[in-house]
Amino acid sequence: MPVSNRRRQLPPPLGEARPSQVLQLYGPGAMVDLPEHSVLIGGLDAWNTRGCEPIYEPRLQQLVRQTTGNPRIGLRTPPKEIDRLKNISGSIKALRFPEWCVVQKKIPDRVAFGISCRARLLVHYLSAGSGDFKDYRDEDGKHRLVPIRFVMACPHGHLSDIRWRDFCFRQFNCENTERLYLLEAGTGNDFTQIFVQSESGVTRKLADALIPESKALGFCQGATPWLGRRSRDSEPCMTNGERTVSRLLVRSATNAYFSETISVISLPEEAGSLAKRVTELKDELAGIEAEGDVSAALKFNPRLKNAFADVDPAELWRAIEAQRGGSGSEVSQPKDEELRLLIGSMDDVSSTAEDSLFEAVVLPTNNPQPWFSTAIKRVLLVKRLQEVQALVGFTRFTARTSSLGGLPI
Ligand SMILES: [Zn+2]
Ligand SMILES: [Zn+2]
């Protein structure tokens, strides 16, 4: 297909994000309000992974494998643009969410429990009748659809539209087909001033959804719409041995998405150490798949023979496995190893080389006061270090706290 045709078929990107934003704000499952759209960031499988480069950080990789329970998981950078002129770029896919909208059309006020309220039609975008999914069509024209700001979710991250009809009529799988309205007496998020009402006047206040005991929003159905519109977990969603109750969530609220990350400081490998030599020659070692391959590889590859002639094959295999982050052994808490580095000798660790990952000097302390010498052994000035962060999951409502060692608990 000619390039010009192809280009026309690609939808233009709706926004851009920096890598750090992808990890903190725009990971899979995050809701994002763009100027023209409200979207849900899709799962990694749906992303265009152009520009996603493998990350070499064995310690982090092992931590991620341990945390996720997936022994084959690898680390990659977020996608990026390769060539702007040729329109070659990786991309993050997002899905339309929520699907329920209010209609931007001035209609007469309605009354809920004796309170006069501003009223707007509440519709699902597929029943808006305009065909373009952006507008609502009625006898006097097109009116803008505005995605509703309330959805429901659970702390495990499951998310879905509120079943507005069921909520209004207090009935699961309600088949009533009256028009629905969202009524607001005040401004903002005072839930006691917000109501759902049907054409015939059946009314319910949104505040009902805030009382967990009322189970007004039902049990969590395990919906994972960032993996596809009808996607859901196969296991029922449980909390402390009971079915999880869905909770009201304001899409734009700060508790709508907490990314869960693990980070490590890149530790320099001791100069000349086996680990360092394995890292330097990792491409040449890539063909080795088992301990039994080691001897043959050393025999036929002069560079490997040169580097590892003095090393026992079993020891070399262990070093290769560690470098690949693959061995199943428990990892020590990341901060422990980093602390060990920071309080240890800087010889062979700190480097001023251009590609150095770590540079630090011990600051001299001239004639320190006795209290100082008692409490503080030395002061280290870290001039350069590299932190690498991996996104491993997310929660809603409350953030998952990390242990002091840096692993999520
Ligand atoms: Zn009109
Ligand atoms: Zn759930």
Interface predicted TM-score (ipTM): 0.61
Query: Which ligand is in closest contact with the Cα of 144?
Result: 1
pLDDT at 10: 62
Render pLDDT for 106-152 as a digit per residue (tens, 0 to 9).
Answer: 999 999 999 999 999 999 999 888 777 889 998 889 999 999 999 99
Q: List Cα–Cα distances, 399 to 59, 259, 396, 408, in angstroms.
A: 24, 8, 7, 10
236 C-alpha vs ligand 2 centroid, how far in Å? 8
184 C-alpha vs ligand 1 centroid, how far in Å? 20
106 C-alpha vs ligand 1 centroid, how far in Å? 7
163 C-alpha vs ligand 2 centroid, how far in Å? 16
219 C-alpha vs ligand 2 centroid, how far in Å? 8
Tokens of 222: 């395990």
pLDDT at 330: 55
The phi and psi torsions of 296 (rounded to 5 degrees) equal -60, -40
181-190: long-range contacts (C-beta < 8 A, 24 or more apart)?
Answer: 181/110, 181/119, 181/120, 181/121, 181/122, 182/102, 182/119, 182/120, 182/121, 182/122, 182/148, 183/110, 183/112, 183/117, 183/118, 183/119, 184/117, 184/118, 185/112, 185/115, 185/116, 185/117, 185/118, 189/250
162 C-alpha vs ligand 1 centroid, how far in Å? 27
Residues 6+ apart with CB under 8 A from 219: 237, 243, 244, 245, 246
110-116: long-range contacts (C-beta < 8 A, 24 or more apart)?
Answer: 110/181, 110/183, 110/197, 112/183, 112/185, 112/195, 112/197, 112/203, 112/205, 113/195, 113/203, 113/205, 115/185, 115/193, 116/185
159 C-alpha vs ligand 2 centroid, how far in Å? 7
105 C-alpha vs ligand 1 centroid, how far in Å? 6
pLDDT at 28: 96
250 C-alpha vs ligand 1 centroid, how far in Å? 28
Query: Which ligand is in closest contact with the Cα of 233?
Result: 2
Q: Which residue has the tokens 């926004």?
A: 15
Q: List Cα–Cα distances, 374 to 304, 370, 371, 379, in angstroms.
A: 49, 6, 5, 13
187 C-alpha vs ligand 1 centroid, how far in Å? 23
Query: Which ligand is in closest contact with the Cα of 136?
Result: 1
Tokens of 112: 């809920």
Query: Which ligand is in closest contact with the Cα of 105?
Result: 1
pLDDT at 9: 55
pLDDT at 82: 87
383 C-alpha vs ligand 1 centroid, how far in Å? 63
Query: Which ligand is in closest contact with the Cα of 135?
Result: 1
243 C-alpha vs ligand 2 centroid, how far in Å? 8
Query: Which ligand is in closest contact with the Cα of 217?
Result: 2
Q: Which residue has the tokens 């869905």?
A: 246
Query: Which ligand is in closest contact with the Cα of 107?
Result: 1
- Burial class of residue 266 (count of CB atoms within 10 Å of its CB; 0-12, 13-18, 19+): middle
107 C-alpha vs ligand 1 centroid, how far in Å? 8
Query: Which ligand is in closest contact with the Cα of 141?
Result: 1
206 C-alpha vs ligand 2 centroid, how far in Å? 21
Query: Which ligand is in closest contact with the Cα of 137?
Result: 1
Beta bridge partners, 160, equal 152
Query: Which ligand is in closest contact with the Cα of 155?
Result: 2
Spans in the chain with pLDDT lower than 70: 1-11, 270-272, 325-333, 402-409
